Amino acid sequence: MSRCAVFIDAGYLSKICDDFRVRLNYTKLSDEVAGDDERLRTYFFDCAPHISSRPTPDERRRKSAYDKFIHALKQEPRFMIRLGRLQKISGEYKQKMVDVLFSLELAKLALTHQIQRVVIFAGDSDYVPAIKIARDEGVVVQLYYYYRPPELSRQGDRGFPKPHDELLDNCDEKYLIDRNFIDKVKFAT
CATH code for the domain in which residue 13 is found: 3.40.50.1010
Query: 52: helix, coil or strand?
Result: coil
Tell me the one-letter amino acid at 155.
Q
> Measured between alpha carbons, how far is 128 from 167 in angstroms, rounded to an integer?
6
pLDDT at 93: 82
pLDDT at res. 189: 65
Q: What are the C-alpha distances in Å from 181 to residues 6, 32, 90, 177? A: 16, 9, 37, 6
Range of the structural domain that residue 88 is part of: 3-185
* Pure H helices in 2-113: 10-20, 26-34, 57-75, 98-111
Query: What pLDDT is recorded for position 161?
Result: 79
Residue 52: predicted pLDDT:
86
d(CA 39, CA 65): 28
pLDDT of residue 188: 79
In order along its 189 residues, the chain shows pLDDT tens digits of 799 999 999 999 999 999 889 999 999 999 999 999 999 999 999 999 988 889 999 999 999 999 999 999 999 999 999 999 988 788 888 888 999 999 999 999 999 999 999 999 999 999 999 999 999 999 999 999 998 876 666 656 666 778 999 999 999 999 999 999 999 999 876
Q: What pairs with residue 90 in β-bridges?
A: none
Predicted TM-score (pTM) of the model is 0.92
Nearest-5° angle of CA 60, CA 49, CA 95?
165
What is the SS3 assignment for 139? coil
Q: Could you give the number of structural domains in the chain?
A: 1
- 8 closest CA partner among 19, 32, 155: 32
Rounded to whole angstroms, the Cα distance separating 123 from 39 reads: 22
Cα 4 to Cα 34, 48, 77, 158, 169: the distances in Å are 7, 27, 14, 35, 21
Residue 61's pLDDT is 96
What is the distance between the alpha carbons of residues 42 and 8, in angstroms, rounded to a whole number? 8
